[in-house]
Structure 1
């Protein structure tokens, strides 16, 4: 799959996520199911679909941003795709938790961080990629953006429901 196909697939996933999120009656159940399916998709795409043999560790936090600023080709796309890849995680987890838990925002971020740490560890364990702190940072940013999108949707929905 090339970058354009990845972006198109991500757009489709985000669209489905947002449509599911607007269906308030089924939102929590669909969000839970979506979270499970998307988590499995993330694990497949980032670990199990890759060929065995390449692995390394990069603990230099911010290296990809430095490389992007220095004009290294493909760095912007790598950062952008890592962020975009986890936006659905933030949307799904927020849709599932709704207003059940006081610390739901922290719990949502923790889920995103844990998922990305698991991915990075599995890549290292199965020799299928690089364990990178930048990936953890970028995926966490994506999760937070997903949470913020959900909050904005809920605020708009609350305003519209108040006018009815």
Structure 2
């Protein structure tokens, strides 16, 4: 609730005299913050601490033979698609594929490291690869969306 109030509050005032945040960009920020909260909840707080202590460095091990294992594999790709779509909208330098995908890779590595340290998830190379593939897929979707229509009135924030 506090996040919604902050977005509302900032949408009605100048932020740093250099630019004014439009309501559209504030909506994108709200979506991005909500997305980050969902990822944190899914990756960490949906599991008991100390419940997972394994490390898997075998590539494509999580694909498995069951429908559920396939679903987990695809879920990791889908989980980072919004990342690849929203980052280029919010940050101009993320419009270059290498920066957006590298940031997705770094965030995925960070998630895996924290899961390993807190023992709230398996440390798996597959998760990093599939999350990075999801960030790439999201970036490609963002590129395709940009070719079909132009988002007017959105000023990109540069810090």
Normalising by structure 2, report the TM-score. Answer: 0.71
Report the structure number with the largest CA radius of gyration: 2
Q: How many residues align?
A: 128
Root-mean-square deviation (Å)? 2.0
1:72 aligns with 2:43: no
Work out which of the residue numbers 121, 134, 138 in structure 1 matches 2:126.
134
Work out which of the residue numbers 102, 106, 114 in structure 2 matches 1:114.
106
Match of 1:58 in 2: 56
Is there any run of 5+ residues in structure 2 with no aligned partner, and where? 1-21, 151-159
Contact 1:94 1:150 in 2 (8 A): yes
Runs of 4+ more than 2 Å apart: 25-37, 100-104
**Larger helix proportion of the pair:** 1
Alpha-carbon displacement from aligned partner over 1:9-66 (angstroms, at most 9, x marks no partner): xxxxxxxxxxxxxxxx65544434433332232122101331012221101112123x
Normalising by structure 1, report the TM-score. Answer: 0.69
Contact 1:82 1:142 in 2 (8 A): yes
1:44 aligns with 2:36: no
Match of 2:87 in 1: 93
Q: What SS does structure 1 have at the residue aligned with 2:54?
A: strand
Is there any run of 5+ residues in structure 1 with no aligned partner, and where? 1-24, 159-164
